[in-house]
Amino acid sequence: FAGYISQVLKNYTDHACDGEYVSLRCPHRTTISIQSSFYGRIVPSHQLCPSRYPHSYATLIKEDVACSVGTSLQKMLDECQDRRSCQFLVNSRLFGMDPCPGTGKYLLVWYKCRPNEYKSKVACEDDKLRLSCKKSMVIAIYSAIFGRTQGGSLECPYQNLGMPMIECQSATALQLMIKRCHGKRSCSIYASTYEFGDPCYPGIQKHLNVIYTCDNTPLLLPVDETEPPGLSSSSSSSSMEPVGVGTEMALLSNILAAYAFITENPERAALYFVSGVCIGLVLTLLALVLRVSCRTD
């Protein structure tokens, strides 16, 4: 469970030089969500993607290190967005006109893995946000933003107080939401600066936006690093599964459900624990009494 969640919540970064393949992959039941992309060169070739051909020092001096293509993000969205995996050869022809001919370039991609089915909830500043899943299902937090986004929020319209539309977000919102809600059937939290701190200037209205999913089988397998890129696991899976896999998954699911019950009902859990200890002590005492009486007889 922890391995799968770390794969989903992780921000991935991948790169490929000209003439190399870039390969993006996500775990089962998730798809690629491109966050940002860069194609060009902003550092010398001896630091990243050195040239395949020998160059003189004079040629390296003339190397363009302020070269970028504005179509790289759109190209990555067209090739990989909402797919389980994608792979293609990096070269300048893919991105249109070459802004710096003769300079070796590279592609940098930042992406996340988004669950196929997810929910989104928004709470305005100082309101309570409640998340809940059906019985036998638990919450898996995908992303959380507390602050003010450039596009704003339809649920929480901003009052125009003469301040510019700036973007400011809390750096700890995701970690806090994971700590409060992850693996639970329901949870609640206030969208306040007391909980998340104030990432903006005083007086700027903020909101909390959480994307999460509910799953009764959250113990999904992480990415198989030995699987060749571009191949989906569904095509290579066999109908004959290991015998112990289903049992282990059921056991882990039961453990997770028990943990959720304890966190939601601590008093009842404590009562059950104390009752179990008392019954165990009584049975042990009876066994000792029977053993002593049998020896005496």
pLDDT digits (tens, 9 = 90+) for 191-248: 888 889 888 877 788 889 888 888 765 443 333 333 333 333 333 333 333 334 345 4
Res. 58: pLDDT tops 50: no
Please, are residues 107 and 39 in contact by the beta-carbon 8 Å criterion? yes
Coil/strand/helix, residue 16: strand
Q: Which residues of 15-46 are buried (b: 16+ CB within 10 A; e: fewer)?
A: ebbbeeebebbbbbbbbbbbeebbbbbeeebe
Q: Which domains does the chain have, with CATH numbers?
A: 1-115 (2.60.120.740), 119-215 (2.60.120.740)
pLDDT band at 54 (very low <50, low <70, confident <90, very high): low
pLDDT band at 49 (very low <50, low <70, confident <90, very high): confident
Q: Which residues of 174-193 are buried (b: 16+ CB within 10 A; e: fewer)?
A: bebbbebbbbbbebebebbb
pTM confidence score: 0.47
Q: How far apart are CA 153 and CA 202, in angstroms?
A: 19
